[in-house]
Structure 1
C-alpha cells in the first residue's frame, strides 16, 4: 500500500463521513491529503495530519475528528492498526501483505513507476544555461545544465510537455568585445582592456585566419564582422558539443538577434501600450513597472530610438507566451538576483501571473576543491573553470549527480577527490553500486533458474518493510521535486533507498545457499530486489546519470 493509495483511502473515509452528516466541510472534502513516512520508528508505517488541518473547518477539535477517521480506517482491508498521537496525528500501520504488494506494483509499472499526472496538460518552457557564446561554459553554467536537464526530465515524468530552450545571446556589447579580442589575437596585439583572454581566443583567431586569410586586409568594420560571425559560430558549436557530451541537448536554440530583426520588440512594446502600461518621458519610452512591484519604472526605448536591454526581455517573454507555453521557467546565476523584480513586474504588465506564467530560479556559486584547496581556473579558458575541466576531473555521471544533489539556492563546495573516489562515501558511487549489486543478484538468480514471484504476505521482516516503504515513496518524491523545482530531492531519496537496500541485503538472504531448495520467500525477496533495481534506475535516469549493471 503506497502513500498515494492511503491518501485516496483517507479521502474516501472523509467523503463517507461527510455524506452521512457525521462531519460538515463547507469547502468540501479535499481531493488529496498528505500521507508521509513518520520520522520516528514506532509511529506506524505512515502518518497524516489531516485531522489537524480540517478540524476547524469541520467545527470540531482535531482529536475528535481523528477518532472518527480512525474508526473507519481500521475497517479498511490492508490496514493493521491506526493510533492517534499528540494533538491529533494519525499513525497508520499497514498489514504485511498490503505493504508487500508494493514490490509487484513497482515491477508491473517498470520504467513508468514514479510517473504521475501532476502537470498533465501543462506546456513548460525551461530556459537554462544560455551562456554567452564568448567562451567555454563555466562551472556556474554547468550547474544549470545538470539541474535544468534533470528538472525537465522530472516535469516530463509528471505529465508536462517540456521544451528545453537555450537563449543564444548573439547581440550586444559582449559580442563586440569578443570580436575585438579575436581581432587583437589575430594581429598579435594585447588583449583589449575589456576583452576576453585565454588559449581558446588564440585558437579561434587562428581558425578564422585559416578560413579567411585576407581578413586582416579587410576594412576594419568588415574584418570585425568576420571575426564576429565566424568566432561566434565556432564558439557556439563548441558549447553545444560540450553540452551534448554532458548529456544535455536543447529543443530550441533561440537567437537574441532574431528578436531585433523580426519586429518582435515593436510588437511587445505595442502590446504593453495597448494595455496602458507605457508612457513617454524625456524623449524615451518607459514601462510602468513600479505599479507592479518593481522598485522603479524602466526605460524600454531610449531617447535615441534604440531598444534598452529590457526591450529584448519583453519581446522574448511575449514570444514564448505566443508559442503557447503555460509556464516559462528561467534559470539564472546569483549575479542576476536584482533582475527578478523587474521581470516579474514585466510579466504582470502583460496581464500574466508572476510565479506561474513566469518563474525565475536563482543558482548560487560552485566552488571546486582539490586537496582541500580551491581550483581557480582553467588552463584553456584562462579565468574560469569550465565544463570540460569538471568532466575531465570526475566524469559526467559524478558531475551531473554532484551538481543536482544540492538545492540550487545554496553554494556548493565540490571536493573533486571525493567525487572521483570509488567508495561508499562518494554518493553517486554509493547509489550506482546498489544498482549494480541488485543487477548481480538478478543475474545469479537467472543462472539458478529462479524467477521472482509475488508473495506479499511473506515480506514481513523489519528491513523488508523499511525497503518497501522507501520504494513506495518514489512517486511522491518525484511529484514534490517537480512542484518545488528541486531535483536534489531525487538524489537524496536515492541515497536513502540505496541504504535501505544494503541493510535489507545484509539481514535477509535472497538466494538459496548451496543445495538449499528455493522457497516462495526467496522468490518474494527476489521480486523486492527487482523492484529496487527499477526504482534506482528510474531515479538515476531522472538525474541523467547511468545505472550500471556491473562495477
Structure 2
C-alpha cells in the first residue's frame, strides 16, 4: 500500500499472494469463480419469447444467447435461476397470421414459410376459414416445427418454463387483473374500449387494456393486460425475488406502462423487474449488408445463419457487444478458421494448452502418472517472471468478472476477458520456456528438463490453471473448449 498524489492510495497485490492464487485455482478446478453473492435468491430470466408468427430472427438469436449466458452467470454467482420463454400465442398477431395463411386482403406476413404453411394445412383449410382459428393452428405449427427446434437443437438452450399467453387468458387471470384495476378505480371506458389510467404512475399516456367492454378468451385484450397478468403470477404466485426480461428494441416504449402496472399492484418496480433492451443486428457478407424484412419474407433467419457458421462462433460474436449498442455481424469473419476469428483464437489457445500438458506427460522424461493433477503447487515460488505474474493477474479476474456481470448484466465482458486472458498466456509462453527442447542424446521432442524440473513444474501448474480458467469462461458462454484442433 502506498500513497499517491493527489490523495489516492494504491494497493499492490504481493507476488506471494498471486502465486498462492494459482494453487487455489488448481484446487477449485471447475468450481473456480463460483460465488455466493446471490445467496440462493430466486431469479427468473425471460428471453427470446418470439411471436409464433415466423422463424426466429437474428435479433432473437442475440437476445437468446444473451439471456442464456446471463442465466449461467447468475447461477455461478449463487442465485437460483429459472430460464423462461413467454409464448405470445393469443391476441391480434395470431389472427393476423391467420389472414396471411388464408391469403386474404388482410394478410400481413409474407415469405416462403407462409406459403409452406398454406400448403401444409391445405386440406384442413378447406373447412376452416376463421382467421382466429387458422392463426392459432398456424402459430402452433410454427412454434413446434420452426421455433422450438431452433432453440433446443441449434442454439442448445434449455428452458425451464414455457408459458402460454393463451393459457393465462384461459385461466381467468386476465379478467382477475382487469377487475383489480377497476376496483382501484384506475380504468375508464372510452370509444368502446377499457383504458388504464397509467399516466398517474409515470407513463406518458393512458393505455388500452381491452378493445371491447368484454374479454373473449383474450381476443379483445391488448398485449398489456396478459403481460400484467403474466408478471403478477411471477411475483405473487411463483415468488421470484427478481425478474429480468430481455426484450427487442421495438419494445422500448413498453417499459413505462408495465412498470406503472407494477406500482398499481404493489408487486414490482425498477428494482425487482429489470428490463434489458437488445438493439438491432445487421448482417454483413462480402462487405455488403444483407437486408432483413420479416413482413416481406426476405430476412435471413437464425436457423439459416446457424447452418452457415458454427454455434460457437454465433454465440461468441453475438455476445461481443453490449445490449444497448447496435451490432454489425460479419458472417465472413465468423466462418474464418484462423486467428482473425476471435472465437477460433480463444479455442485454439485452450487446445494448445492441452497439447502442452499432454507433451509433458508423454515426453522422453515424462511426469509420473497423475502428476499433471497434483504436486505442481509446491514449486510456485519459482514463478517470478513479469509475464508469469501478469498472467496470474488475468486469471484471478474471473471471480470479479462474474460478480460485476451478475450485478449489471454486461455479459460482453466474458468474450473480452477470454481474449485478454489468451493474449496474456501467449505473452507468457513466448517469454517463458515451459517445456525445454531436449538434446537428441537425451531423446527427441519436448519433455521435462531434469536440470530445471522444479521451474518446469511451476510453469506447467500455471498452464493448467490457465486451462481451468479459460474453460470455465467458455463454459459460462456456452462455447466448447476443444482439447485438439
Q: Which of these residues, 330, 333, 338, is aligned with residue 418 of structure 1? A: 333
Deviation per CA, 1:135-182, whole angstroms, max 9, x where unpaired? 100111110011010101111101111111111111122111212222
**Aligned twin of 2:445:** none
Q: Which of these residues, 199, 223, 244, is aligned with residue 112 of structure 2? A: 199
**Aligned twin of 1:109:** 28
Q: Which of these residues, 241, 247, 251, is aligned with residue 326 of structure 1? A: 241
1:494 maps onto 2:415 in alignment: no
**Aligned twin of 1:257:** 166
Deviation per CA, 1:109-147, whole angstroms, max 9, x where unpaired? 111111111222211111111111111001111100110
Q: Which runs of 5+ in 2 are unaligned?
A: 216-220, 443-448
**Aligned twin of 2:11:** 92
C-alpha displacement of 1:205: 2.4
> What TM-score, normalized to structure 1?
0.79
For residues 143-292 of structure 1, what are the structure 2 equivalents within 5 Å? 143-184=62-103, 192-209=105-122, 213=123, 215-218=124-127, 220-221=129-130, 224=131, 227-237=134-144, 238-244=146-152, 245-273=154-182, 276=184, 278-282=186-190, 285-292=194-201
- Structure 2: distance between partners of 1:437 and 1:232: 47
**Aligned twin of 1:457:** 381
C-alpha displacement of 1:366: 0.6
**3-state secondary structure, aligned to 2:328:** strand
- Structure 2: distance between partners of 1:301 and 1:232: 22
User: Do the aligned partners of 1:99 and 1:465 also contact (CA within 8 Å) in 2?
Assistant: yes
Judged with a 3 Å threshold, the aligned counterparts in structure 2 of structure 1 residues 480 and 216 are, in CA distance, closer, same or farther, namely: closer
User: Do the aligned partners of 1:442 and 1:526 also contact (CA within 8 Å) in 2?
Assistant: yes
User: Do the aligned partners of 2:110 and 2:294 also contact (CA within 8 Å) in 1?
Assistant: no
Q: Which of these residues, 401, 420, 429, is aligned with residue 477 of structure 1? A: 401
Judged with a 3 Å threshold, the aligned counterparts in structure 2 of structure 1 residues 110 and 430 are, in CA distance, closer, same or farther, namely: same
1:367 maps onto 2:282 in alignment: yes
Q: Which runs of 5+ in 1 are unaligned?
A: 1-81, 185-190
Q: CA RMSD in A?
A: 2.1
Deviation per CA, 1:30-65, whole angstroms, max 9, x where unpaired? xxxxxxxxxxxxxxxxxxxxxxxxxxxxxxxxxxxx
Number of equivalences: 457
- Structure 2: distance between partners of 1:407 and 1:374: 21
Judged with a 3 Å threshold, the aligned counterparts in structure 2 of structure 1 residues 346 and 462 are, in CA distance, closer, same or farther, namely: same
- Structure 1: distance between partners of 2:70 and 2:260: 25
**Aligned twin of 2:446:** none
